[in-house]
Structure 1
Amino acid sequence: MKIQQLVETYLNIKFKRGVQPAPWGVFQYSWDEDDCAELSFVGEPEESFTSWMYDLQPRDAHYVASPDWQPVLAGRFHQVDVYDELILYYLLFTINSTLTIRPTNAYNAMNDRMKSHSFFQMSHCSAASRMSEEQKHQLRDFFFFFYLYAHPVNEDTLYACSFHEQRLVHTTTNISLEHYFAAFHDHYSEHCDQYRDDLIINPDDIQASKHLTLELLRIIEGKSSPLHMPSEEGLEAVVQMINNVDLMLQLYEDNTSALFEIMRDFLAENRSTLYRDHCFTTLLQNYVCYILHFKFDEIHTLVDYFGSTPTWCGVIINKMFTDTIFIQRILRLKQIDINAYPDVIAFFGEEARSIYLS
């Protein structure tokens, strides 16, 4: 079964689309007492894709004056020290938690939104033919930063990796994450008896975990086919723009108002569901990341178009500026002063004002 089907299952559960989830190989979604939906093992439903390795977490050498132990994979990766080993474990855990669904609240909703958006877009930006290679690299780094930042991870982990073409490496050691994660799983599946006090799942499940981890990593590295969001009645145009970045960029270049008309039609329908709201937010954040990221002054065109319907203009501006902090980082990276855009500020609500004007 393709990873696309698993991602659709994730979206169906997360946004309560009423589609019954089916098992995916050795995995199935299950719920815990905190109403968190996680991938668990069909053969070990009490163990999850993220938790199977909890007891294998390396000791934190930061709390020891002189660490006197070696990394588990020291024989294979001589350049890895005990500090690197812990960071690589955190990175593995972060990737494995990508498809975990946790209840959101006022404190974690933005991070949840940014991590899932960044993960989805890393499968798209490398394949966008209407962007230069430099633009693709900038966006890939941008999304990967937020994918980790929004998890969240500590600062050491946030800056631990870099892209070498379409390959993520641990910068300090120059070790490919793909090679390290594969060796990690192989070690524990081959020495399962040695770790029987720390492992519940069997070697076959560990190997299945390896293949899923590497599939998720391929998406992050931009090696997979672009992920698609499922469409539904009334969302066809919005989802089409989301699933085909090149088409969105072409439409904007050839007929800018046509993209805005899709936004206007969505708002005119005035029907809200979790999935509809998610799709509209995704389209707006794609407009931010693929268009404003490189030509921020294009925001004047949007304000001019929606100026005759100030309520809708306010909805769009405030969602772009407060659903994520993508724009905040763009302004900082490009050294743009938002005060130079009074036509935009005029539509700021209280939250946007507190973030950008305080």
Structure 2
Amino acid sequence: MKLQLLFHEYLNIKFNRGLPSVQTCGFEYGVLEDERAALFFVDRNDQAFVEWAYDLQPGDPQYAASPDWKPVLADTFKQLDVYDEQILYYLLFTINSTTSIVRSSPYNAMNDLMKNYCFFQLSQLNGVSRLSDEQKLQLRDFFLFFYLYAHPVNEETLYAFSFHGQDLVHTKTGIHIEPYFSAYHDYYIEHFDKHRDQLTIAPHEIAACKNLTIELLRSIEGKSTKLVLPPEEGFEAALRLINDVDEMLHMYSENKSTVFDIMRDTLAGTRSIPYRDHCFSILLQNYVNYVLYFEFDEIHHLVDYFRGTPAWCKTILNKIFADTIFLQKIMRQNRIDIADYGSVIEFFDEEARRIYL
């Protein structure tokens, strides 16, 4: 499967772009009645990809005084206990649900943006040559944290995983996720008859789910070709910076105003439509995570540039600070007190003030 093609179809459906729908190696999107959309097997609108393992969820050992069962893969992964198995199941569901489209509301908009933004950045990060290895490690951990946090997962799952090089690993056991997920799917293919009552798809469909899950995982690990946002007329300059972080960092180091010019032109462009709004949000969050993450005082240059157009300055700053909580965590990590940045605070709207003041 070509994940890029699936990613473009996801954006097409999510932002109502109106492009012809495509099938991707046995899967296609189906739009549900409540404005959600999910990935289904072609010609099977009764079975969504994300749901195939619902009935395989292991029992919750937290509610058993003394869990008396073994993990399904205990013979393959000797270090695995029932608590680890449940956390790994949650990770599988979290990764698979990256393909799902939720109904947007004021209550989930931030998490939806953060999870999908982090998935996109994790696919790109390994190829960013203008960052040092140490900087990429910092951002990889940061993006993984928010990818899980924004799903959202429980606290045990949130802190259960780390990167060893480019491999995602269950930290406690040292189990590498790709071979675990591969063995998990293979187990249910090989023991299909034993678990027939819990499975609503055939062995060849489990194999298709395995291939897609591994592709999603490898994108998170930065082992696949990076994902890119598809073109949009009038947004060429912004998309060039979004799809090529090296280009953005080079341009910023040469002349900050050139990057700010593109932000200005994007904001001042044609009427608002969902995909363009999304692209603008991604551009601003890239400024947060690739510039302000490492040098927060760069915010002064942004404010100085836009101060002459107060309405635009307010729009940009409030999107930067309140569309996500990336900056909130960055400031806490670096013990930055927003009270020291009066020129920024003066443009805060009510939501930003609620979060930061």
- Report if TM-score (shorter chain) is over 0.5: yes
Task: Summarize deviations over 1:152-188 as a string: whole Å, max 9, x none.
Answer: 0000000011100000110111000001100000000
SS of match in other structure, 1:343: helix
Aligned to 2:205: 205
1:225 and 2:228 correspond = no
Q: 1:159 is aligned with what amino acid?
A: Y
Q: Paired residue for 1:281?
A: 281
Shift of 1:282: 0.3
2:21 is aligned to 21
Q: What SS does structure 1 have at the residue aligned with 2:78? A: coil
2-side partners of 1:17 and 1:324: how far apart?
24
| CA shift digits 1:13-53 (9 cap, x unpaired) | 10110012211111111123333211111253211111011
Q: Identity of paired residues, percent?
A: 61
Tell me by how many angstroms 1:195 deviates: 1.0
- Residue 329 of structure 1 and its aligned partner are, at CA, apart by 0.6
Contact persistence 1:338–1:356 (CA under 8 A): yes
SS in 2 for 1:29: strand
Deviations 1:290-324 (A, max 9, x none): 00000100000000011111111010000000100
State yes or no: 1:192 paired with 2:173.
Answer: no
Q: CA shift at 1:73, angstroms?
A: 0.7
Structure 1 CA distance for aligned equivalents of residues 45 and 191 of structure 2: 22
Correspondence list, 1:104-183, <5 A: 104-183=104-183
Partner of 1:57: 57
The CA RMSD measured in Å over matched residues stands at: 0.9
Measured after TM superposition, the shift of residue 202 of structure 1 is 0.8
- For residues 64 and 24 of structure 1, the distance between their equivalents in structure 2, rounded to whole angstroms, comes to 42
Measure the CA separation in 2 of the matches of 1:344 and 1:285.
17
CA-CA distance at 1:271 after TM superposition: 1.4
TM-score by length of 2: 0.99
Distance in 2 (CA, whole Å) between partners of 1:233 and 1:30 is 27
Q: Distance in 2 between matches of 1:216 and 1:227?
A: 11
Give the distance between the partners of 1:43 and 1:76, measured in 2 at CA.
35
SS of the equivalent of 1:146 reads: helix
**Distance between the aligned counterparts of 2:10 and 2:271, measured in 1?**
23
In the alignment, the residues of structure 1 paired with residue 70 and residue 233 of structure 2 have an alpha-carbon distance, to the nearest angstrom, of 57
CA distance in 1, matches of 2:36, 2:103: 6
Distance 1:190 1:43, change over 3 A: farther
Are the equivalent residues in 2 in contact too, given 1:44–1:201 (CA < 8 A)? no
Aligned to 2:238: 238
Aligned residues between the structures: 357
TM-score normalized by the length of structure 1: 0.98
User: Where does structure 2 lack aligned partners over 5 or more consecutive residues?
Assistant: none
Structure 1, unmatched stretches of 5+, are none
Q: Which string of whole-angstrom CA distances, capped at 9 and with x for unpartnered residues, describes residues 95-152 of structure 1? A: 0000100101010000000000000000111210000001000001100000000000
Distance 2:125 2:304 in 1: 28
Task: Give CA deviations for 1:224-258 in whole Å, capped at 9, x if unaligned.
Answer: 12110011111100111000000000000001100
Q: 1:104 is aligned with what amino acid?
A: S
The verdict on how the C-alpha distance between 1:138 and 1:39 changes in structure 2, with shifts beyond 3 A counting, is same
CA–CA separation in structure 1 for the residues paired with 2:21 and 2:269: 29
Cα deviation for residue 269 of structure 1 reads 2.0
